[in-house]
Structure 1
């Protein structure tokens, strides 16, 4: 299912029109709920019914959670809530990849949002919602159902009730994020995908260092592709006055360690596993070696969340092993000046991240590893195809990195909004010009939609 930008802009148009015409301030969220339901029904077809059943289960379970006798009923509810996700991961992914009739689109995000709602009620952080339609909107809100980020109910429900409005600031910030996301998607991600597909679809020809280059290109591609959609959907939501969480640190690709990387990559997913798996169990695993095992298990689950496969099991274990190794050896490099240690760390992390990106991307783990450590001297490799794509990518990537660096911890729309008006409009025109002249039309799914 390719994310259709025509449908996305239709959602914006209908949303703006509906909110403008709807008079009841406290119930403007009904407009977004109706549109989210209609668009999901159009895209997912019969799987829409599973979503409704799931939402009713979460709603009713939340109301009665504190009345349940013992823990067995609580665990039964959690198991039932996980059932659609497990069906999708275990059965549908392998059996129905080519079928458009039955797809649990966005079920990972729906399931995890629903579970966090129940967990927070159980912990006493949240009172059960009595308005089913408000909870349903939380579960199916279109701007984050496909690709995240994950949200906690207590962070977003109040915005649905209080913040929905159309004003100049919301419209300006929203369209800035949408434009920024379109630039990253069409100019950077789509061009990087050409290099990735060229190498990984022909590992018989592209071997040895070329596979490593493919891993590096995919590492950059995954950031540009994933974060571009997050920017776009953040922008769409901001137009209506809803502020979604950021899922990436601005320069996460320039991390100086694996721990630093994970602190800024897919942040809401990592925080979900931290808060609902690692922290609750860590009180029972107090010894350092036990804590390390728990961290390995956490990363294994993060890997298997993507896909129940050997490659993601390996990928999760390697991430955990990398961080544990860093923790062990970091004190030995304390003598280096901070700036040198950081610069060397960025180079070292990119090298390691490119290797893990090969595992993440490949459809044939053994074949890709064999290709990585082989070299076909007789193959006719067209180096110019790969070099040309990187030549196209470098200038806009430098522009993106410059903006990310200048923005620092600010969200991009806030940084751009702080610029003087002539500079701001020159920036807008530059992005539009780059999209028109260098952009490549989308021909495949956003990579993270499949998870």
Structure 2
């Protein structure tokens, strides 16, 4: 399991806050640039030099793009080269690698290792969106290279996943400040993220791994798939909350990336509207719409949709397994567009059965996502006799009860919060209620938290 040491994150916050105090109001962003590069270096080592050089290339190409729009496609392909090399040469199973490796500060040099950099996907996609937005005349090229460098390497964002447009983020960098309110709002999100990660996500991951090494088979084999489905949500979204909180301390608002109760989706279309939102928006705006404008009669919309999901899958990993996973997701969406479930009678019954329908197929797709052997997955589910190890329940009863109760607490607060971000949701509560929630989460982290670090599956992509 890949973990970030909380001490490292705490040092980042303290160093950034202290350094900001030495800069004037208009230059406070320089403090975040310095700490982002230093702490990024602690994780990726000498490879950060490559990213700085690539940032400068993007900076220079932005002016070429602005002057000569016809060269934009060639420029975008050039920027994609390092990421494509990384995906092609990284042949390990991401799930096996996640179980076996922790973050290494340095690696022995080989020709492809230069491109195997944590956060490279975020860096590349933001670089492309920056150049494309200049081409579309949404923004002007930023004249200050170091602001572009901060946009591409901002420490909290590059490891938490939400993709941001340059106009949205650079504008906030220019008005950084620290106040009692920003600290309070930030600490609420950090606490919420720690609770979801250390108490819920890590425990679900442990339960799933213990279950996978048993002889579980038949219909019961879908249970590990369901656990991974819920684990991914708690893991991904907790990391977003955590780094949103760090940024909020400096009055920088990072975007949400996951719908609050997306795990209770009643269709695949509803699910993808709230899952990895900024990545889907990126593929929509910079691939799907770009190609779709040539399909004036809309004959190939379904094909383009399928190709988009295949690209999303291959972004995760260049493997046959992920290719099939992408095809299945695309076909699922196309099927739901052809068969409009909303027109079916009995809305309440339809929604309730929709939860079960979506969860069932999500379990299968989750198993495909983490399995290096598709044949083995389908044999386990469809060929083997149903078997569930009864002794497993006895051994994992305490862990299971902690997961269920903690997840229920999380879902309760999300249901009450509705569309409000968690820090704003708490701000609206009476002070006694607010502190009760603080104390409750702190105690649960201290008593039920598994490790002293936060793990993040996203770092593998």
Whole-angstrom distance in 2 between the partners of 1:443 and 1:30: 28
* Secondary structure of 2:174 counterpart: helix
Whether the 8 Å contact between 2:260 and 2:414 is mirrored in structure 1 is: yes
Across the two proteins, how many residue pairs are aligned to each other?
444
Residue 142 of structure 2 is matched in structure 1 by 129
Q: What do the CA deviations read for 1:120-170 (whole angstroms, capped 9, x no partner)? A: 0011111001000000000000001123111000111110002x1111111
Residue 167 of structure 1 is matched in structure 2 by 179
Unmatched runs of 5 consecutive residues or more in structure 1: none
CA-CA distance at 1:210 after TM superposition: 3.2
Distance of aligned partners of 1:388 and 1:371 in 2 relative to their CA distance in 1, 3 Å threshold: farther
| 1:260-339 map, 5 Å | 260-331=270-341, 334-339=343-348
Residue 201 of structure 2 is matched in structure 1 by 189
Whether the 8 Å contact between 1:41 and 1:48 is mirrored in structure 2 is: yes
Residue 110 of structure 2 is matched in structure 1 by none
* Secondary structure of 1:354 counterpart: helix
Residue 404 of structure 1 is matched in structure 2 by 414
The alignment status of 1:65 with 2:76, answered yes or no, reads: no
More relative contact order in 1 or in 2 (CA 8 Å, sep 6+)?
2
Whole-angstrom distance in 2 between the partners of 1:54 and 1:196: 40
Distance of aligned partners of 1:172 and 1:444 in 2 relative to their CA distance in 1, 3 Å threshold: closer
* Secondary structure of 2:4 counterpart: coil
The alignment status of 1:76 with 2:74, answered yes or no, reads: yes
Distance of aligned partners of 1:289 and 1:174 in 2 relative to their CA distance in 1, 3 Å threshold: same
Whether the 8 Å contact between 2:312 and 2:326 is mirrored in structure 1 is: yes
TM-score (norm. length: structure 2): 0.92
* Secondary structure of 2:3 counterpart: coil
CA-CA distance at 1:363 after TM superposition: 2.9
Whether the 8 Å contact between 1:206 and 1:381 is mirrored in structure 2 is: no
CA-CA distance at 1:316 after TM superposition: 1.0
CA-CA distance at 1:377 after TM superposition: 7.3
The alignment status of 1:119 with 2:132, answered yes or no, reads: yes
Distance of aligned partners of 1:237 and 1:378 in 2 relative to their CA distance in 1, 3 Å threshold: closer
Residue 52 of structure 2 is matched in structure 1 by 52
Comparing 21-30 with 358-367, greater Cα deviation is found at 358-367
Distance of aligned partners of 1:380 and 1:49 in 2 relative to their CA distance in 1, 3 Å threshold: same
Whole-angstrom distance in 1 between the partners of 2:455 and 2:324: 24
Residue 117 of structure 2 is matched in structure 1 by 104
Residue 162 of structure 2 is matched in structure 1 by 149
Distance of aligned partners of 1:52 and 1:406 in 2 relative to their CA distance in 1, 3 Å threshold: same
TM-score (norm. length: structure 1): 0.93
Q: What do the CA deviations read for 1:285-321 (whole angstroms, capped 9, x no partner)? A: 2445410000000000011111111111111111111
Whole-angstrom distance in 1 between the partners of 2:419 and 2:382: 40
Whole-angstrom distance in 2 between the partners of 1:36 and 1:114: 17
